[in-house]
Each structure stands twice: as structure tokens, then as C-alpha cells.
Amino acid sequence: MAGCYVLGERVRRGRATDQPYESGILPTGNARLRLTAKFYLIAMFFVIFDLEAVFIFAWVIAFRELGWAGYIEIVIFISILIAALVYLWRQGALDWGTKNSKKVIGSRQ
């Protein structure tokens, strides 16, 4: 490391170079963004379904050794996942758009 310091090229560093994020380019805005709760919901869904994919992948690898018992277990597992997805769908957890107010026929607005 001492050799690198002695033999290395000397670079004149400015104030912008010392900043950790932009690496020498002057920052153009605030790095703190406000994210909606939907972003975090998508992140949670990704983590949950990613873990489920790991379990299903492990089942696929050991499919021949598990036999019918393993097949029944994965069918139950996938059925629970589908039931949970349908429940979330009906509760409105997967509605990303704005909710439109439904007009009642015959009402005055």
C-alpha cells in the first residue's frame, strides 16, 4: 500500500469529489425522495413471493426423492399461496390506481 501511495498518480481533488454520492459531479437535487406506501407494499410482495419461489425451487430439486407426499405438500403450499393472493385481491391490496367514486344511478350530484 505504501508503494501505491508513492508510485500512484496525484490527483487534485475538489470539493465535489469528496462528496460520497455523485463522485465528482455536482449534485443536482435532493436525494431524499418521498415514496408512497404502495412502493413498500410492492417491495413486501416481492420479498414474500421471492421466498416462496425459493421453497418451490427446493421442492423441484428434490422432486424425485419426495414422491407423492412431497407432491401433496407442494399442492397444499401453492393452494395456500393462491388463497392468500385471492384474499389480498378482494381486500383491495393489489389496487394501485386511485379509487373512482361510483355514481349511483338516479342520484343528483
CATH code of the domain containing 50:
1.20.58.1610
Q: 65 in a domain, yes or no?
A: yes
Q: 82 in a domain, yes or no?
A: yes
Q: 5 in a domain, yes or no?
A: no
Check if the beta carbon of residue 16 is closer than 8 Å to that of residue 26. yes
Q: 29 in a domain, yes or no?
A: no
pTM: 0.53
Range of the domain at 63: 34-94
- Which range of 3-7, 32-36, 43-47, 72-76 scores highest in mean pLDDT? It is 72-76
pLDDT confidence of residue 12: 65
Q: 45 in a domain, yes or no?
A: yes
Residue with cell 410492492: 42
79 — pLDDT class (breaks 50, 70, 90) = very high
